[in-house]
Amino acid sequence: MVQAWEEEHGIRVSPSIHFTGGEPFVYRGLLDVIAYSKAKGYGVALMSNGCLISTDDAQRTFGLGVSDIQVSLEGPPDLHDSIRGRGSFAAASKGVENLLRAGNRVSANVTLSRLNIDQIEETTELASTMGFYGIGFSRMVPCGRGRR
């Protein structure tokens, strides 16, 4: 079906799968699903809070050739923890460290809101210090907990 669409429209399609959440590393079979997806020719992107990424996970992720890894960063440690829960900054930092040490390229993803917009410069500097190769910004979706 994709091939017919490519021929009809004269463009190349690069199928990809983006694993996000909640938190994709909660699913114990995540890396097996990523391996299967890669074997089928899909590009794979991964968006995580970073908290559950072990050294082994980071090494396997690198070995699988995941091209785009984003880890959430809401701001400096106290602000990040106030948004994502106590201890989450330290856990996410450890996950990022594991990913980087394994050779992965990792970018930060900041969800902008009234809680962190005033600290955006400090957050950008922090992302650089932590070793992120880039930083992206998402908007807060005002539903569920985001409504508050």
CATH for 45: 3.20.20.70
Residue 135 CB partners (closer than 8 Å, separation 6+): 73, 107, 108, 109, 110, 123, 124, 127
Measured at the alpha carbon of residue 12, what is the angle toward residues 2 and 48, in degrees to the nearest 5?
A: 80
Instruction: Give the per-residue pLDDT at 10.
Output: 87
Instruction: Give the per-residue pLDDT at 13.
Output: 79
Could you tell me if residue 6 is inside a domain? no
Closest CA to 110 of 57, 51, 47: 47
Instruction: Give the per-residue pLDDT at 145.
Output: 57
Report pTM. 0.87
Could you tell me if residue 71 is inside a domain? yes
The low-confidence residues of the chain, meaning pLDDT below 50, are none
Range of the domain at 132: 17-147
Instruction: Give the per-residue pLDDT at 56.
Output: 97
* CA distances, 112 to each of 37, 85, 100, 117, 139 (Å): 31, 17, 24, 6, 5
- Provide the mean pLDDT of the chain: 92
